[in-house]
């Protein structure tokens, strides 16, 4: 029998755990945006070496499952003498994986701009720096918002993976709850509701941003 | 009106990889006059026009703006310093077939942007000047619109205002009316006629033979990368000697008979 009270009871511990879900995905995307910007600069660089570095970075991170990467980082850090809480490794891994996707999103957005946009800037005598900051980036960023929100939603879901290295986020908390109450269905359903609530909010945020940035 | 520039094109060659797009082009563009470039599709009209502000690099020969070589320090020599190239470009206005307005800025901001970034003007002055330039092309009541909220003809007039606000001494037009619905062509041509009447040097790639016939001081015909002929419109458009020009004009007339 489905127990409504166990279902409702599960929300409090899971909501507490949601802070870690948000921390991992929020910090992950924030750092990922910064690293992704660097990778994107490399990918668009004139130097073949830098382009190769970016290509290797992107294809490794997109080609290997995030679960495996988390485990690699988790076991690698102690070996190279870095002793940090599991949450730190989880955030760093998430950020690095996100950076690969984000750099591709930005590269795509920049390449999608018509050539005439920069040509108009060049023809008028603008410096490359100004044409980047005034013409290309504002448009590329606006263009990439839906995909960035989509990436953030994927990260929220992917953050369930960091439960394997012991971070007490929603998924791990629901496992713990199920173990204590012997009510797995209620615990996991509550987890599902929380994930859905978070991602519906993010989708709404995305629509609002898109609407605001629309030209 | 600032002084108008002259352009001297000497033995210009341009390759795209193996493809010889411009072959030994010689053309003199006198100051304050309108030169139309005509010819079949793919003949190299845009390439030649874009060599004038070095948006396209030519491989040999010389393009001189008021006697000053553009793009290279010496003929066949090193590339010119970016700063100097930008400085030269800022006196050459360019208008594109696809307008190339910046969609994230209003019409007024589009016009002000170059004044601020290139001329170093303060924003209030630049916006004021942009407003004047837009008023002159009949868009006083559309200054706050983004390009997506303007008709094609209005967008192209904003693009012209954007170029003209920089006080250019030379204006380049690459098929400025080809992307427009027929009923919007006139408003853009009228703005161009007014510019021409003001003594601006203009180089216009166009399929508008009416404009070439009535406004141009000289018409240059290109085919397959070669400059086949240059003459006043009355001769080159009415009684061309070269059979290639004759056949081009015949096709043009056939297509435009209703
Ligand atoms: N970036 C490029 N790379 C390779 N080939 C090019 C490039 N740009 C132009 N060409 C070629 O050079 C030739 C001349 O092109 P150009 O655009 O100057 O012609 P056009 O006379 O302006 O034609 P249209 O009337 O169609 O605009 C064409 O055959 C074209 O395919
Ligand atoms: Mg062309």
**Are both B58 and B149 inside the same structural domain?**
no
**Are both B69 and B20 inside the same structural domain?**
yes
**Are both B130 and B214 inside the same structural domain?**
no
The percentage of residues in chain A with a pLDDT greater than 90, rounded to a whole number, is 88
Question: According to the model, what pLDDT value does residue B2 have?
Answer: 56
**Are both B184 and B160 inside the same structural domain?**
no
Q: Using one digit for the tens of pLDDT, what is the confidence trace for A13-48? A: 999 999 999 999 999 999 999 999 999 999 999 999
Domain spanning A20-168, CATH class: mainly alpha
Question: According to the model, what pLDDT value does residue A210 have?
Answer: 84
Contact residues on chain B for A114, CB-CB shorter than 8 A: 98, 100
Q: Which two tokens stand for residue B228?
A: 């086949």
Of B150, B149, B144, nearest to B188 by C-alpha is: B150
Ligand 1: residue of B15, B40, B43 to mutate (most ligand atoms within 8 A of CB) is B43
**Cα separations in angstroms, B123 against A215, B91, B112, B119, B135:** 21, 20, 8, 11, 18
**Are both B109 and B36 inside the same structural domain?**
no
Is B98 near chain A, with CB under 8 Å? yes
Beta-carbon separation of B104 and A142 below 8 A: yes
- Neighbour-count burial of B20, counting CB atoms closer than 10 A to its CB (0-12 exposed, 13-18 middle, 19+ buried): middle
Residue at a domain's end among B121, B147, B167: B167
Domain count, chain B: 2
**Are both B41 and B76 inside the same structural domain?**
yes
Of B225, B90, B247, nearest to A123 by C-alpha is: B90
Question: According to the model, what pLDDT value does residue B258 have?
Answer: 59
**Domain chopping of chain A, boundaries:** 20-168
Closest Cα to atom 7 of ligand 1: B16
Q: Which two tokens stand for residue B169?
A: 């001494």
Tell me the C-alpha distance between B224 and B229, whole Å.
13
Closest Cα to atom 12 of ligand 1: B21
Beta-carbon separation of A215 and B103 below 8 A: yes
Helix axes B152-164, B107-117, angle to 10 degrees: 20
> What is the ipTM, given to two decimal places?
0.93
Nearest ligand 1 atom, CA B207: 25
Beta-carbon separation of A124 and B162 below 8 A: yes
Beta-carbon separation of A120 and B94 below 8 A: yes
Q: Which two tokens stand for residue A55?
A: 């290509």
Tell me the C-alpha distance between A141 and A113, whole Å.
11
- Print the domain residue range for B204: 1-91+171-258
Residue B175, in any domain of the structure: yes
How many C-beta neighbours within 10 Å does residue A7 have?
16
Q: Using one digit for the tens of pLDDT, what is the confidence trace for A152-201? A: 999 999 999 999 988 999 999 999 999 999 999 999 999 999 999 999 99
Look at A109-113, A116-120, B235-239 and tell me which has the smallest mean pLDDT: B235-239
Parallel, antiparallel, or unpaired: how do β-strands B7-16 and B60-65 relate?
A: antiparallel
**Low-confidence stretches of chain B (pLDDT beneath 70):** 1-2, 257-258
**Are both B151 and B202 inside the same structural domain?**
no
Tell me the C-alpha distance between B173 and B171, whole Å.
7
- In this prediction, residue A2 has a pLDDT band, given cuts at 50, 70 and 90, of confident
Please answer whether residues B207 and B237 qualify as being in contact, where contact means their C-beta atoms are separated by less than 8 angstroms.
no
Q: Which two tokens stand for residue B224?
A: 């397959």
B207: domain CATH number is 3.40.50.300
Please answer whether residues B5 and B91 qualify as being in contact, where contact means their C-beta atoms are separated by less than 8 angstroms.
yes
**Are both B108 and B180 inside the same structural domain?**
no
Tell me the C-alpha distance between B171 and B5, whole Å.
9
Query: Nearest Cβ partner of A139 from B98, B104, B114?
Result: B104
Beta-carbon separation of A135 and B102 below 8 A: yes
**Are both B145 and B108 inside the same structural domain?**
yes
* DSSP H or E run through A192: helix A184-213
The residues placing their C-beta within 5 Å of ligand 2, an ion, are B 46
Closest Cα to atom 30 of ligand 1: B42
A170 Rama class: left (phi>0) / alpha (psi -120 to 50) / beta: alpha
Question: According to the model, what pLDDT value does residue A215 have?
Answer: 56
Rounded to the nearest angstrom, the minimum Cα separation between A100 and chain B is 27
Of B154, B157, B151, nearest to B173 by C-alpha is: B157
**Are both B221 and B235 inside the same structural domain?**
yes
Residue B96, in any domain of the structure: no
Longest dimension (CA), chain B: 56
Please answer whether residues B115 and B166 qualify as being in contact, where contact means their C-beta atoms are separated by less than 8 angstroms.
yes
- Torsion from C-alpha of B166, B169, B171, B172, nearest 10 degrees: -110
Please answer whether residues B126 and B99 qualify as being in contact, where contact means their C-beta atoms are separated by less than 8 angstroms.
no
Question: According to the model, what pLDDT value does residue B254 have?
Answer: 84
Q: For the residues of B58-102, what is the DSSP string, one character each? A: -SEEEEEETTEESSBSSTTSPBPPHHHHHHHHTTEEEE-TT----
Q: What share of chain A is helix, strand, coil (3-state, %, to 5)?
A: 85, 0, 15
Q: How far is the CA of A111 from the centre of ligand 1 (A)?
A: 21
**Are both B144 and B241 inside the same structural domain?**
no
**Are both B106 and B86 inside the same structural domain?**
no
Is A134 near chain B, with CB under 8 Å? yes
Question: According to the model, what pLDDT value does residue A184 have?
Answer: 92
Residue at a domain's end among B114, B144, B167: B167
Residue B241, in any domain of the structure: yes
Contact residues on chain A for B55, CB-CB shorter than 8 A: 119, 122-123
Ligand 1: residue of B12, B14, B16 to mutate (most ligand atoms within 8 A of CB) is B16
């Amino acid at each position: 029998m489905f127990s409504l009270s166990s279902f409702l009871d599960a929300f409090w511990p899971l909501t507490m755990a949601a802070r870690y879900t948000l921390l991992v995905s929020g910090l992950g995307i924030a750092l990922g945006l910064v690293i992704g910007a660097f990778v994107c600069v490399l990918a668009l660089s004139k130097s073949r070496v830098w382009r190769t570095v970016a290509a290797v970075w992107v294809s490794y991170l997109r080609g290997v499952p995030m679960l495996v990467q988390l485990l690699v980082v988790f076991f690698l850090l102690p070996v190279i003498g870095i002793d940090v809480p599991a949450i730190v490794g989880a955030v760093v891994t998430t950020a690095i994986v996100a950076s690969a996707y984000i750099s591709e999103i930005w590269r795509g957005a920049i390449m999608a701009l018509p050539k005439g946009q920069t040509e108009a800037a060049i023809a008028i005598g603008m410096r490359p720096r100004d044409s980047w900051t005034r013409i290309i980036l504002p448009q590329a960023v606006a263009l990439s918002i839906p995909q960035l929100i989509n990436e953030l939603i994927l990260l929220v879901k992917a953050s369930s993976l960091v439960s394997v290295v012991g971070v007490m986020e929603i998924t791990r908390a629901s496992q713990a709850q199920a173990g204590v109450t012997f009510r797995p269905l209620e615990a996991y359903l509550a987890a599902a509701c929380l994930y859905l609530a978070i991602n519906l909010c993010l989708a709404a945020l995305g629509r609002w941003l898109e609407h605001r940035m629309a030209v | 009106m600032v002084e108008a520039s002259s352009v001297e094109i000497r033995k210009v060659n341009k390759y795209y990889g193996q493809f010889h797009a411009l072959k030994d082009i010689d053309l003199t563009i006198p100051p304050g006059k309108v030169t139309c470039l005509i010819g079949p599709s793919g003949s190299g009209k845009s390439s030649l026009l874009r060599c004038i502000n070095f948006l396209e690099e030519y491989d040999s020969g010389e393009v001189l703006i008021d006697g000053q070589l553009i793009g290279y320090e010496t003929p066949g020599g090193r590339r010119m310093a970016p700063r100097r190239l930008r400085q030269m470009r800022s006196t050459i206005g360019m208008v594109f077939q696809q307008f190339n307005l910046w969609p994230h800025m209003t019409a007024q901001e589009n016009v002000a942007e170059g004044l601020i970034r290139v001329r170093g003007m303060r924003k209030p002055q630049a916006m004021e000047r942009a407003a004047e330039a837009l008023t002159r092309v009949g868009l006083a009541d559309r200054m706050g619109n983004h390009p997506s909220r303007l008709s094609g003809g209005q967008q192209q007039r904003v693009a012209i205002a954007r170029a003209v606000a920089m006080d250019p001494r030379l204006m380049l037009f690459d098929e400025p009316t080809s992307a427009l619905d027929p009923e919007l062509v006139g408003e853009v041509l009228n703005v161009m006629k007014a510019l021409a009447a003001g003594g601006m040097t203009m180089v216009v790639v166009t399929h508008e033979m009416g404009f070439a016939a009535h406004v141009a001081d000289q018409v240059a015909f290109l085919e397959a990368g070669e400059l086949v002929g240059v003459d006043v419109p009355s001769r080159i458009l009415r009684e061309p000697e070269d059979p290639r020009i004759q056949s081009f004009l015949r096709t043009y007339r056939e297509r435009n008979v209703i």
